[in-house]
Amino acid sequence: MHVVTNASTQTSPGNNAAATVTATCPAGEAATGGGGAVSNQGPTPVELYASIPVGNNAWAANAQQVAAGSNVWTLTVYVVCSR
């Protein structure tokens, strides 16, 4: 087993800025679990509102900034892959 990550950084978000990120296992491997995390938040809250499997080989997460502000934040998604 190993972990694959993918990230998206929101550098100039506004009110209700949202991000969806997907991490995908290499060909021939299956997703056995996963998750998402929001980091680098400033004073404006950002919520992780979904973390779900996508098919048999990927994991996706969604996050949204819930108020006006100029935070720079990153949504990172992890998928655990196995052959």
Confidence band for 65, pLDDT divided at 50, 70 and 90: confident
For residues 79 and 16, the model is more confident at 79
Digit-coded pLDDT (tens) for 18-55:
889 999 999 999 999 999 999 876 777 888 999 999 99
Residue 15 clears pLDDT 70, i.e. is over it: no
Helices marked H in 1-83: none
How is the chain split into domains, by residue range? 2-82
3-class state of residue 47 by DSSP: strand
Q: Indicate the length of the chain as a whole number.
A: 83
Average confidence (pLDDT) over 56-74: 86
Q: What is the pTM of this model?
A: 0.86
Domain over 2-82 is classified CATH 1.10.8: no
Phi and psi angles of residue 67, each rounded to the nearest 5 degrees, phi first: -155, 165
Distance separating alpha carbons of residues 23 and 8, to the nearest angstrom:
11
| Confidence (pLDDT) at 58 | 95
